[in-house]
Amino acid sequence: MEDEDDGVERTVRTVRLLEDICNGVSSHEFEFLSLQGLRVVRARKDSFLCSFVVPDRLSDRDGNWHAAAMATLMDDVGVVTVYCATGNLKTTLDFCVSYLSTVKIQEEVEIEAKVVGAGSKGNAALVVVEVRRKDSGKLIALAKQWLASFNMTVDQLSSKL
């Protein structure tokens, strides 16, 4: 069984990892552009809650948050949430997003990721990521993401992409 202090330490390391991605320290340009400005509101061993104001640079031609940029953000938040829960880096095997509404530029949203299942040997995990309007709580997008372990450490990986 994991020591509680180890879980807290891993949560702190995971928040730093996500902040580094958001600040362009350990990410590729597309991730940096898609996540820049993301704030961690709450981090727990098996869930993350983040806040994000959609910037102009992520606009589609209709003035909405571009679907690919939203998917990138959901993917990365899901991956770090699973890392925090399991202590293992994992790669996405299956990623399914349902878009229920659009989001205008400069609108604030909340992104919540929760690990809902992990394999008995810790080699696979399922995370659900929700994007909601900050003001009303209305669901905008929902992603289910299956991830599996691979043999790399955070130090060996500048970005999962």
Tens digit of each residue's pLDDT (9 = 90 or more) over 14-58: 777 767 666 666 555 556 567 788 999 998 888 999 999 999 999
For 87-108, the pLDDT digits (tens) are: 777 788 899 999 999 999 999 9
For 102-133, the pLDDT digits (tens) are: 999 999 999 999 999 876 566 788 999 999 99
Residues 6+ apart with CB under 8 A from 5: none
Residue 22 exposed, middle or buried by CB count within 10 Å (0-12, 13-18, 19+):
buried
Rg of the chain over Cα atoms, rounded to whole angstroms, equals 15
Class of domain 4-156: alpha beta
